[in-house]
Structure 1
Amino acid sequence: MDPLPLFREGLAAVVRRTPSMHWLGATGHLHTAVRMNERLRPDVLLVDSLLDPQGHLAALLTGNGSPALVVSLVRDPHRTAKYVRSALTAGVRGMVPRAAEIGEVLHAISRTHAEGTYLDPTLAPLAAGVTPAADAGSRRTLSRREYEVLQLIADGMENQAVANALFVSVETVRTHVKNILRKLRARDRTHAVSLAYQAGLLSGGTVRLG
């Protein structure tokens, strides 16, 4: 998952030429990534750190029993202890600089798939003893349904409209909203949407789930 089509196409071409790997697809949109992950069930997911600055997407992609291993392509501004630690805690299992040589990226994919974890030597010191989470995500990770509810709220829907769109009861929606507010530590629905955009959990101009 990368915002630049040229980078995605280049990486796809290299992976397709690698005998031990099979390329399933790519996108630059958060919501499409979630849907592709559920439909294609890949072994490894590559996620640009720009699209997941706080690890929320990685936690979502690896939650709910998903077997996928997330490898973060770390941009230079994110080569910090804060980012590395939060990403590992959220469920990222492999990390490699986005600017690394293609052979190093392929190595990171292979090692993560074979061993379950991998930290590029240039990033390992930033982890400071933190290891990739054994389970995907933390206790504050939104579930897939909560994520859907949050997106519909961001689209301006009230609880009844959300319930109709998801074919559930209003009480169920209210429960999801309460969980969203608790997990995001938000005061209300508007605050939750604002925090989600700031964290990169939601983004404008993407395909809506549903």
Structure 2
Amino acid sequence: MDKGRAAPGLGAAGTRALTVAALDPVPIYREGLNALISRTPGLRWVGHAATHHASLQLCEQLRPNIVIVDSGFDPNGHLVRLLCDGDPTLVVVVLVRDAQRTARFLATAVAAGAHGMVPRTADPRRLAEAIRRAHVDRRYTDPALAGLTARPKRQTANGQVAASGSGYRPQLPLSRREYQVLQLVAEGLENSAIAKVLFLSVETVRTHVKSILRKLSARDRTHAVTTAFRTGILIARPDDSAAKQPDAAPPGGQDGLG
């Protein structure tokens, strides 16, 4: 597969369509996004991913112009940060669940690099408009969330004034590849299986595992996974996605990345 950005298709007026992917663990939402993007002039669906490591692989291989990320899938902003760091031209639009509808989450997502913030319950026309605005302006917040971005000032412990609920650049001690390896370790895969999934040598995977243990001050793989969940580096799958789904799929619902 070509490692460059996926070639956009032609829109109705002969202009290049923007390629869009969804990073969401819930099948019904992915299908809805697929239908919306496919019928919206100027946008073209290229696929989806349902786990963090598959999300990174999808973006590395298909290079979409825009990704739509479920806030429950990335409540701490780690995935958004890795995606934006890996491709500065990528536009990230976050669909905000009620559980993350807070000033702190919005500020954290923006600090991680997110360009658009839209309620997960937004109607299709609003979401399509948000995608366009985020791509053109590189910053868009849905009016329903705007009140959460107007943060009152508060006094800090050292006497300086700061914005209440202000976010921070999500701190992730692991590299992009180490993060993927840790995700797969948490899923119970051994080094040889991880090597096949990530197209790495077993020795390279072993090196990454050693680095993960060192950075997390973990005694072994189990301790590393426990520490990662406790500190928010890894998250449990959202409740409404408990059923195991394929990691990633291109247009047409076929497994894999094409």
What's the TM-score bracket when you normalise by the shorter of the two chains? 0.7 to 0.9
Matched-pair contact (CA < 8 Å) for 1:93–1:132: no
Partner of 2:177: 145
Structure showing the higher strand proportion among its residues = 2
TM-score computed with the length of structure 2 as normaliser = 0.64
Task: Encode CA deviations 1:115-174: one digit per residue, 9 max, x unaligned.
Answer: 1111112212223369999xxx6553632222133235433758x998984443966653
Secondary structure at the aligned position of 1:23 is classed as strand
TM-score computed with the length of structure 1 as normaliser = 0.76
1:174 equivalent in alignment to 2:210: yes
Partner of 1:201: 234
| Aligned residue runs from structure 1 range 63-82, under 5 A | 63-82=85-104
Partner of 2:155: none
The structure 2 residue matched to 1:13, chosen from 2, 22, 35, is: 35
The structure 2 residue matched to 1:91, chosen from 113, 120, 136, is: 113
Alpha-carbon distance between aligned partners in 1 of 2:203 and 2:40, rounded to the nearest angstrom = 44
Task: Encode CA deviations 1:19-77: one digit per residue, 9 max, x unaligned.
Answer: 21111112323222221111110111101111111111111222234531211100112
Percent of aligned positions that are identical = 39
Partner of 1:110: 132
Alpha-carbon distance between aligned partners in 2 of 1:161 and 1:3, rounded to the nearest angstrom = 22
Counting matched residue pairs gives 199
Alpha-carbon distance between aligned partners in 2 of 1:176 and 1:195, rounded to the nearest angstrom = 11
The structure 2 residue matched to 1:33, chosen from 32, 55, 66, is: 55
Structure showing the higher helix proportion among its residues = 1
Q: 1:176 to 1:18 in 2, by over 3 A?
A: same
Partner of 2:19: none
Task: Encode CA deviations 1:77-133: one digit per residue, 9 max, x unaligned.
Answer: 211112112212222221000101111111111111111111112212223369999
Secondary structure at the aligned position of 2:143 is classed as coil
Matched-pair contact (CA < 8 Å) for 1:56–1:141: no
Runs of at least 4 residues off by over 6 Å: 129-133, 160-164
Alpha-carbon distance between aligned partners in 1 of 2:146 and 2:207, rounded to the nearest angstrom = 46
Alpha-carbon distance between aligned partners in 1 of 2:30 and 2:73, rounded to the nearest angstrom = 14
Alpha-carbon distance between aligned partners in 1 of 2:26 and 2:194, rounded to the nearest angstrom = 32
State the 1:191 CA deviation. Answer: 4.5
State the 1:187 CA deviation. Answer: 5.5
- Structure 1, gaps ≥5 residues long: none
